[in-house]
């Protein structure tokens, strides 16, 4: 720490900031610059957010109106097409053409009459590029054009038409007309709802383009009608013949469709950074995008940013001059001491203020460091005492819950664990088993071999318990030669297997006796929650009763307790 501060002090000397006056000037400039920049940044962010909301609202209103107009335009075209499809001229000719044994020759008088009718309709509506009558198999019966163009109807248009619903195709580029077109169709039905075919029309987007141009007047921005793949179908900026070369990147299009009506910043197809938002249409899955040039949209906030920078520069000049005139007494070492004292007051004693001189402040710094060192040593001694006390408390806690002979839990701790496990089993409806074990003929072994040998038997049995149980199980000395095992998440069959495993393991051990080694056996009683009891006391009574039943039946066995109903 001292070497770093010394290096900083040397660096300040190089910059001619070693005097009090120059240090105060530097401090005043920093104290002015930081809050000014912070205030300017907060103001810029706040104004930027407000401007974003304003731009988003304007573009959202623009796209909402344009999308509504587009939906209305498409609804009108569908309505007109449904009206024309009910014309007697259309239905009569399609009925004659599709009737069994009917005339299927082309260029018949009836077909010419239908073609003339479609031409007359086409001439009255500027949105229509071509009208085509199709029979159910998809063959062209008549067209308003000399030569029928290509229709982009979906593959299942016959199925849709038979349900009486209108058919919407996909956008198709008309190479002859140098424009995008959309095919729509309406089913033609006879009076008895017989499906005769469809009347299809290829729509252009000239009216849509004029509508977008009407909304994009002035500085409102540019409007585009796009598909989900980014294909631009109509625009307020470009002519229809230019649209084939224009395409919004699919990533941008996907982003706009997934965040509808949300302001997005991106680069358009011309590489210009713009802000835009999209509003989807309700019928055909397209979207109207409104774009604004980023620099024009945020020109106001950029002017505010430049003005703020100019004001901050002017403020720095004024404050620097005032600091040069008035800064006489405050020094950096004193501030360092104040900061260090504040850290000590808050509990941080890892403080060591470097002594950079032999002046009065240097002597004060030495005294302060000595005081902090003494406080730190005292706290370290107190910490060592606390650690020792915590270790002693942990040892006392272990002694309070452990049986001194076997190292297992004592009866008091067993009852606490059993109470908690019963409550948990009751709350979550989980199985719980209790196993009460007693050493057979232990008093006789004690009287024959002595109490020291009996204690060794109990210790060995405790070791066998620990080796045969899971970490989640709890085993302890219940009293004398009786042991209690608590088995959470254990059903009756699993509890019996565990008890038999312990009994078998113990049967393999040979314990010393006067004449020859003997085997020690155990008897056990199993109680299951809730069948043998719903409280710790009832479970223990059931397990104890099963234990005595095992004793009465010859020992060296495990007996499951009867249910409460059977016991009653």
Over residues 465-508, the pLDDT tens digits come to 888 888 888 988 888 888 999 999 999 899 899 988 888 888 88
Compute CA distances 10 → 18, 330, 355, 364, 486, whole Å.
8, 19, 14, 21, 72
Is pLDDT at 346 greater than 70 in this prediction? yes
- Euclidean distance between CA atoms 129 and 115, whole angstroms: 14
Nearest to 278 by CA among 254, 246, 295: 254
Q: What residues does 140 pair with on adjacent strands?
A: 134
| Architecture (CATH level 2) of domain 90-204 | 2-Layer Sandwich (3.30)
Give the tens place of pLDDT for each residue, 139-187: 888 888 877 778 888 888 888 888 888 888 888 888 887 888 889 999 9
Ranking 31-45, 170-184, 537-551 by mean pLDDT, the lowest is 31-45
pLDDT at 316: 76
Sign of CA dihedral 367, 370, 374, 375: positive
Is pLDDT at 88 greater than 70 in this prediction? yes
Is pLDDT at 330 greater than 80 in this prediction? no
Provide the residue ranges of all domains of the chain, joining segments of one domain with +: 90-204, 411-567
| CB neighbour list of residue 529: distance below 8 Å, 6 or more residues apart | 422, 425, 426, 431, 432, 433, 434, 539
pLDDT at 319: 74
pLDDT at 331: 53
Ranking 221-230, 373-382, 418-427 by mean pLDDT, the lowest is 373-382
pLDDT at 16: 57
pLDDT grade, residue 435 (50/70/90)? Answer: very high
Is pLDDT at 117 greater than 90 in this prediction? no
Using DSSP, state whether 37 is helix, strand or coil: helix
Is pLDDT at 408 greater than 50 in this prediction? yes
Hey, what CATH class is 411-567 in?
alpha beta
Share of the chain above pLDDT 70, in %: 86
User: Do 90-204 and 411-567 share a fold?
Assistant: no
pLDDT at 313: 82
Written as six digits, the tokens of 358 are: 């032999």
Kindly state the average pLDDT of the residues 279-300.
Answer: 85
- Euclidean distance between CA atoms 210 and 426, whole angstroms: 74
Half-sphere exposure of residue 224, counting CA atoms within 13 Å on the CB side? 26
Nearest to 199 by CA among 152, 140, 145: 140
Bridge-based pairing state of the strands 522-529 and 128-134? unpaired
C-beta separation of 305 from 46 below 8 A: no
Mean pLDDT of all residues belonging to the chain: 81
Q: Which of 123-137, 378-392, 444-458 has the highest mean pLDDT?
A: 123-137
């Amino acid at each position: 720490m001292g070497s770093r501060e010394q290096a900083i002090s040397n660096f300040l000397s190089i910059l001619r900031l070693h005097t009090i006056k120059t240090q105060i000037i530097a401090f005043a400039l920093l104290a002015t610059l930081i809050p000014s920049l912070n205030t300017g940044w907060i103001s810029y962010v706040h104004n930027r957010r407000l401007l974003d909301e304003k731009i988003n609202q304007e573009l959202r209103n623009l796209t909402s109106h344009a999308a509504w107009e587009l939906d209305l335009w498409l609804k009108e075209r569908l309505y007109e097409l449904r009206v024309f499809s009910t014309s007697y001229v259309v239905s009569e000719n399609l009925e004659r053409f599709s009737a069994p044994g009917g005339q299927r020759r082309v260029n018949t008088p009836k077909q010419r009459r239908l073609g003339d009718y479609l031409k007359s309709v086409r001439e009255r509506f500027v949105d229509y590029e071509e009208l085509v009558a199709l029979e159910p198999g998809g063959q062209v019966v008549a067209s308003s054009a000399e030569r029928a163009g290509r229709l982009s109807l979906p593959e299942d248009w016959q199925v849709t038409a038979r349900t009486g619903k209108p058919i919407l195709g996909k956008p198709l580029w008309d190479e002859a007309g140098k424009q995008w077109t959309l095919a729509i169709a309406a089913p033609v039905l006879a009076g008895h709802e017989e499906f005769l075919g469809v009347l299809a029309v290829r729509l252009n987007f000239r009216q849509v383009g004029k509508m977008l141009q009407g909304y994009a007047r002035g500085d409102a921005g540019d409007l585009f009608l796009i598909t989900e793949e980014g294909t631009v179908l109509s625009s307020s900026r470009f002519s229809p013949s230019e649209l084939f070369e224009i395409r919004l990147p699919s990533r941008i299009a996907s982003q706009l469709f997934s965040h509808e009506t949300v302001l997005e910043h991106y680069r358009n197809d011309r590489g210009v950074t713009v802000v835009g938002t999209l509003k989807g249409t309700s019928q055909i899955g397209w979207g109207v995008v409104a774009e604004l040039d980023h620099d024009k949209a945020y020109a106001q906030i950029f002017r505010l940013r430049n003005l703020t920078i100019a004001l901050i520069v002017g403020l720095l000049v004024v404050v620097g001059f005032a600091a040069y005139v008035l800064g006489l007494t405050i020094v950096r070492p004193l501030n360092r001491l104040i900061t260090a004292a504040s850290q000590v007051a808050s509990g941080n004693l890892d403080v060591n203020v470097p002594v950079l001189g032999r002046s009065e402040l240097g002597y004060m710094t030495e005294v302060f460091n000595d005081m902090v060192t003494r406080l730190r040593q005292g706290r370290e001694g107190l910490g060592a005492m606390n650690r020792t006390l915590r270790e002693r408390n942990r040892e006392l806690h272990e002694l309070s819950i452990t049986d001194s002979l076997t190292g297992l839990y004592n009866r008091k701790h067993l009852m606490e664990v059993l109470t908690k496990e019963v409550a948990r089993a009751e709350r979550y409806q989980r199985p719980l088993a209790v196993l009460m074990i007693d050493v057979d003929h232990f008093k006789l072994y004690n009287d024959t071999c002595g109490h020291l040998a009996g204690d060794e038997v109990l210790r060995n049995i405790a070791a066998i318990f620990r080796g045969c149980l899971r970490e989640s199980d709890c085993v302890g000395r219940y009293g004398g030669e009786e042991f209690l095992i608590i088995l959470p998440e254990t059903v009756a069959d699993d509890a019996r297997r565990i008890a038999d495993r312990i009994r078998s393991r113990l049967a393999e051990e040979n314990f010393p006796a006067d004449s020859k080694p003997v085997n020690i056996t155990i008897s056990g009683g199993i109680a299951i929650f809730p069948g043998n009891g719903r409280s710790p006391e009832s479970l223990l009574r059931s397990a104890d009763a099963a234990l005595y039943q095992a004793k009465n039946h010859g020992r060296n066995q495990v007996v499951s307790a009867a249910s409460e109903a059977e016991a009653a």
